[in-house]
Amino acid sequence: MKPPEYIDGARVVEWAWSDVPFGEVQYTDGGVAAAIHGLAICRYEGSTEVYRFSCSAQWKCEQDQPYESVELAKSQLPKQYRRVEAAWQSAA
């Protein structure tokens, strides 16, 4: 499922989607807070950093992390989101 043009006010640069979750965001007690179906590399206007957003099936951002480049954001994907290999697509 294609993401919206913007997530949390940041423009989507690249994205990946999986019907089977990439992984989960967990509560501190280990319970599942959200299944992650969408990954998006985004940039806020005027920023040199990019953010990797880990999103629900409705493209709601559940977790984010800043990076210096798109390449780093994709290559440093945490283990918790590697259950399914991400097939990145350009948003352009």
Q: For residue 88, is it within any domain?
A: no
What is the domain count for the chain? 1
What is the pLDDT, as a whole number, of residue 45? 97
Q: Is residue 77 part of a domain?
A: yes
pLDDT digits (tens, 9 = 90+) for 12-21: 999 999 999 9
Domain membership of residue 91 (yes or no) is no
Question: Alpha-carbon distance 19 to 8, whole Å?
Answer: 22
pTM across the whole model? 0.93
Provide DSSP, 33-52: EEEE-EEEEEE-TT-S-EEE
For residue 30, pLDDT beyond 90:
no
pLDDT of residue 32: 87
Distance CA 31, CA 44 (A): 31
CB-based burial of residue 36 (10 Å sphere; 0-12 exposed, 13-18 middle, 19+ buried)? buried
Residue 86 lies in a domain: no
Can you tell me the distance from the alpha carbon of 27 to that of 69, in angstroms, rounded to the nearest whole number? 29
Residue 69 is assigned to a structural domain of this protein? yes
Domain assignment of residue 48, given as a range: 6-81
Whether 92 is in a domain gets the answer: no
Within-domain flag for 40? yes
Q: What is the pLDDT of residues 35-87, one digit of tens each?
A: 999 999 999 999 999 999 999 999 999 999 999 999 999 999 999 999 999 99
